Amino acid sequence: MCGAKAGGPDASAIKPGETTIQGQVTRDGEPVTGYVRLLDATGEFTAEVPTSATGQFRFYAAEGTWTVRALVPGGTADRTVVAQKGGLAEVAIAV
């Protein structure tokens, strides 16, 4: 089960006890707007959110291994992340 708040994450909004995957998409060190997808361990699409104006995103997910895929104008990039139950996994994606 996943969900995300559109408009980018606010650190104060992290839900205690929730398994959270969040990060920022950048190009040449600058934030990039676009979309970020969450794919499960088999590569199946699970969720998609827009990035904020500062390239940030957040998903609430089940524990496990996930692929986070940035889809922005002019590029895509994947990162693998292991989410721990109740933990926060930070992901930096450079495209």
Residue boundaries of the structural domains of the chain: 19-94
Q: Are 24 and 31 in contact (CB under 8 A)?
A: yes
pTM over 0.85: no
Which CATH code for domain 19-94? Answer: 2.60.40.10
CA-to-CA separations, 52 to 6, 34, 93, in angstroms, rounded: 7, 8, 14
Query: Side chain identity at 6, as an amino acid letter?
Result: A
State the Cα–Cα distance between residues 36 and 70, nearest whole angstrom: 4
Cα separation, 37 vs 81, in Å, equals 13
Residues of the chain with pLDDT under 50: 1-7
User: Quick one: pLDDT at residue 10?
Assistant: 52
Rounded to 5 degrees, φ, ψ at 70 are -90, 130
